Amino acid sequence: MALALKLLVCEPVREVRRRVCAWPVTHARTSVWPALRRWRRAFGDGFAQVAMGRAPPHLERCERGALAFVGGASMP
């Protein structure tokens, strides 16, 4: 989900963290997220697009971040 929001929807890192983190981010450096950089290097830009493509067709009108989340959740 974080990769889709950053790479496909072009959300700023601060917004990505706000939307996907399970706990509130309280430190000042919310615009930096080293894990997101590592995930991007590991999976590449194509991962989020593949995840979107695996979403069920009836969700085609949903936002791209939601499509990537649903499609990614169905991947083995």
Give domain limits for the chain.
2-73
Helix (H) or strand (E) holding 4: helix 2-7
> Angle at Cα 28 formed by Cα 26 and Cα 30, nearest 5°?
80
Per-residue pLDDT of 13-66, as tens digits, reads: 888 888 888 877 766 566 778 888 887 777 766 777 888 888 999 998 988 878
Judge residue 55's burial from the number of C-beta atoms within 10 Å of its C-beta, 0-12 exposed, 13-18 middle, 19 or more buried.
buried
The whole-number pLDDT of residue 29 equals 64
How far apart CA 76 and CA 62 sit, in angstroms, is: 22
Backbone φ and ψ of 7, nearest 5°: -85, -35
